[in-house]
Amino acid sequence: MINDVMDEDNLAEDKIKANEPHSKSLLETSESKGNSRIIFEEFTDERTLISYDVFGKKQMKIKVLEVSDENPPSKWKFGDRVKVSKILVTIKHLTSQEIEEGEFDIEAIERELAEKRHYTSTNRWIPTTDIKNGYVVGSRHTTLISDASALDYIVF
Protein backbone atom coordinates (compact mmCIF):
# COMPACT_ATOMS: atom_id res chain seq x y z
CA MET A 1 0.00 0.00 0.00
CA ILE A 2 2.78 2.44 0.91
CA ASN A 3 4.69 1.59 -2.27
CA ASP A 4 1.57 2.36 -4.33
CA VAL A 5 1.27 5.79 -2.69
CA MET A 6 4.98 6.49 -3.28
CA ASP A 7 4.68 5.41 -6.94
CA GLU A 8 1.70 7.74 -7.38
CA ASP A 9 3.69 10.62 -5.83
CA ASN A 10 6.63 9.94 -8.16
CA LEU A 11 4.32 9.81 -11.17
CA ALA A 12 2.70 13.10 -10.14
CA GLU A 13 6.12 14.75 -9.76
CA ASP A 14 7.25 13.43 -13.15
CA LYS A 15 4.10 14.81 -14.80
CA ILE A 16 4.66 18.22 -13.21
CA LYS A 17 8.29 18.30 -14.38
CA ALA A 18 7.28 17.24 -17.89
CA ASN A 19 4.63 19.99 -18.15
CA GLU A 20 6.84 22.85 -16.93
CA PRO A 21 7.58 25.34 -19.72
CA HIS A 22 11.27 25.59 -20.50
CA SER A 23 12.03 29.16 -21.49
CA LYS A 24 15.37 28.20 -22.95
CA SER A 25 13.77 25.76 -25.38
CA LEU A 26 11.22 28.41 -26.40
CA LEU A 27 13.98 30.77 -27.44
CA GLU A 28 15.95 28.22 -29.43
CA THR A 29 15.45 28.21 -33.16
CA SER A 30 15.91 25.27 -35.48
CA GLU A 31 19.03 27.00 -36.85
CA SER A 32 20.64 27.20 -33.41
CA LYS A 33 20.29 23.45 -32.88
CA GLY A 34 22.73 22.77 -35.72
CA ASN A 35 20.36 20.41 -37.51
CA SER A 36 19.35 21.58 -40.97
CA ARG A 37 16.45 19.12 -41.20
CA ILE A 38 13.19 20.10 -39.54
CA ILE A 39 10.77 17.56 -38.11
CA PHE A 40 7.23 18.00 -39.45
CA GLU A 41 5.82 18.81 -35.99
CA GLU A 42 8.37 21.62 -35.61
CA PHE A 43 7.62 23.17 -39.01
CA THR A 44 6.17 26.67 -38.82
CA ASP A 45 4.76 28.51 -41.79
CA GLU A 46 6.59 31.84 -42.07
CA ARG A 47 3.30 33.64 -42.82
CA THR A 48 2.01 33.02 -39.29
CA LEU A 49 4.98 34.90 -37.81
CA ILE A 50 4.50 38.06 -39.89
CA SER A 51 2.03 40.91 -39.41
CA TYR A 52 1.33 43.70 -41.90
CA ASP A 53 0.52 47.38 -41.48
CA VAL A 54 -2.88 48.76 -42.55
CA PHE A 55 -1.74 49.66 -46.06
CA GLY A 56 0.20 46.44 -46.65
CA LYS A 57 3.46 48.33 -47.22
CA LYS A 58 5.35 47.04 -44.17
CA GLN A 59 5.70 43.68 -42.50
CA MET A 60 6.84 43.02 -38.96
CA LYS A 61 8.40 40.03 -37.26
CA ILE A 62 9.13 39.80 -33.52
CA LYS A 63 11.76 37.54 -32.00
CA VAL A 64 11.74 36.81 -28.27
CA LEU A 65 15.15 37.54 -26.76
CA GLU A 66 14.42 37.16 -23.07
CA VAL A 67 11.60 35.83 -20.92
CA SER A 68 11.00 36.35 -17.23
CA ASP A 69 11.24 33.43 -14.81
CA GLU A 70 8.07 34.65 -13.08
CA ASN A 71 5.29 32.07 -12.70
CA PRO A 72 1.93 32.84 -14.35
CA PRO A 73 -0.76 33.86 -11.86
CA SER A 74 -3.46 31.39 -12.99
CA LYS A 75 -2.20 28.54 -15.11
CA TRP A 76 -5.47 26.65 -14.82
CA LYS A 77 -7.43 29.45 -16.52
CA PHE A 78 -5.08 30.65 -19.27
CA GLY A 79 -2.75 27.67 -19.79
CA ASP A 80 1.04 27.74 -20.08
CA ARG A 81 2.31 31.29 -20.58
CA VAL A 82 5.63 33.11 -20.34
CA LYS A 83 6.28 36.74 -19.51
CA VAL A 84 8.31 38.33 -22.31
CA SER A 85 10.95 40.86 -21.21
CA LYS A 86 12.99 41.70 -24.33
CA ILE A 87 12.15 41.44 -28.02
CA LEU A 88 13.83 42.11 -31.35
CA VAL A 89 11.49 43.80 -33.84
CA THR A 90 12.27 43.54 -37.56
CA ILE A 91 10.27 45.77 -39.92
CA LYS A 92 10.59 45.33 -43.67
CA HIS A 93 9.39 48.09 -46.02
CA LEU A 94 7.94 46.19 -48.96
CA THR A 95 8.19 49.11 -51.42
CA SER A 96 11.90 49.78 -50.92
CA GLN A 97 12.98 46.40 -49.44
CA GLU A 98 14.60 48.37 -46.58
CA ILE A 99 14.87 46.51 -43.26
CA GLU A 100 14.83 48.12 -39.81
CA GLU A 101 15.66 46.27 -36.59
CA GLY A 102 15.38 47.35 -33.00
CA GLU A 103 15.73 45.68 -29.63
CA PHE A 104 13.16 46.66 -27.02
CA ASP A 105 13.08 46.07 -23.28
CA ILE A 106 9.31 45.80 -22.88
CA GLU A 107 9.51 45.88 -19.10
CA ALA A 108 11.35 49.24 -19.10
CA ILE A 109 8.97 50.69 -21.70
CA GLU A 110 6.00 49.55 -19.61
CA ARG A 111 7.41 51.30 -16.52
CA GLU A 112 8.14 54.46 -18.52
CA LEU A 113 4.62 54.65 -19.92
CA ALA A 114 3.05 54.05 -16.51
CA GLU A 115 5.20 56.86 -15.11
CA LYS A 116 4.59 59.37 -17.93
CA ARG A 117 1.00 58.62 -18.90
CA HIS A 118 -0.28 56.86 -15.76
CA TYR A 119 -1.42 53.77 -17.66
CA THR A 120 -0.03 50.80 -19.51
CA SER A 121 -1.60 48.54 -22.08
CA THR A 122 1.03 45.89 -22.62
CA ASN A 123 0.16 42.29 -21.93
CA ARG A 124 3.54 40.59 -21.81
CA TRP A 125 2.09 37.18 -20.94
CA ILE A 126 2.23 35.11 -24.14
CA PRO A 127 0.98 31.52 -24.43
CA THR A 128 3.84 29.13 -25.09
CA THR A 129 1.95 27.82 -28.11
CA ASP A 130 2.20 31.31 -29.69
CA ILE A 131 6.01 31.21 -29.75
CA LYS A 132 7.32 29.28 -32.74
CA ASN A 133 11.08 28.82 -33.34
CA GLY A 134 11.79 31.79 -31.04
CA TYR A 135 9.38 34.12 -32.90
CA VAL A 136 6.00 35.41 -31.73
CA VAL A 137 2.94 34.57 -33.83
CA GLY A 138 1.67 37.61 -35.78
CA SER A 139 -1.64 37.78 -33.90
CA ARG A 140 0.24 38.66 -30.67
CA HIS A 141 2.39 41.48 -32.12
CA THR A 142 -0.01 44.30 -31.21
CA THR A 143 -0.15 43.33 -27.53
CA LEU A 144 3.64 43.30 -27.26
CA ILE A 145 4.35 46.63 -28.98
CA SER A 146 1.36 48.69 -27.81
CA ASP A 147 3.31 50.67 -25.18
CA ALA A 148 6.26 51.24 -27.54
CA SER A 149 3.81 52.56 -30.14
CA ALA A 150 2.18 54.84 -27.56
CA LEU A 151 5.58 56.38 -26.80
CA ASP A 152 6.41 56.62 -30.55
CA TYR A 153 9.33 54.20 -30.32
CA ILE A 154 7.71 52.17 -33.12
CA VAL A 155 5.68 53.61 -35.96
CA PHE A 156 3.94 50.80 -37.75
Residue-level pLDDT at 146: 87
List pLDDT tens digits, range 94-112.
999 999 999 999 989 988 9
pLDDT over threshold 70, residue 20: no
Q: Are 62 and 145 in contact (CB under 8 A)?
A: yes
Domain count, the chain: 1
Task: Give dist(CA 30, CA 114) in Å, integer.
Answer: 37
Please state the rounded mean pLDDT for residues 68-87. 79
Q: Which helix (H) or strand (E) holds 66?
A: strand 58-68
The answer to whether residue 17 sits within a structural domain is no
Q: Are 141 and 152 in contact (CB under 8 A)?
A: no
Backbone φ and ψ for 7, nearest 5 degrees, come out as -65, -40
Q: Which residue has the higher pLDDT, 98 or 19?
A: 98
Please report, rounded to a whole number, the percentage of residues in the chain having pLDDT higher than 70: 67
Which domain, by its residues, includes 96? 24-150
Q: Are 150 and 113 in contact (CB under 8 A)?
A: yes
Residue-level pLDDT at 88: 94
The answer to whether residue 69 sits within a structural domain is yes
The answer to whether residue 15 sits within a structural domain is no
Residue-level pLDDT at 94: 93
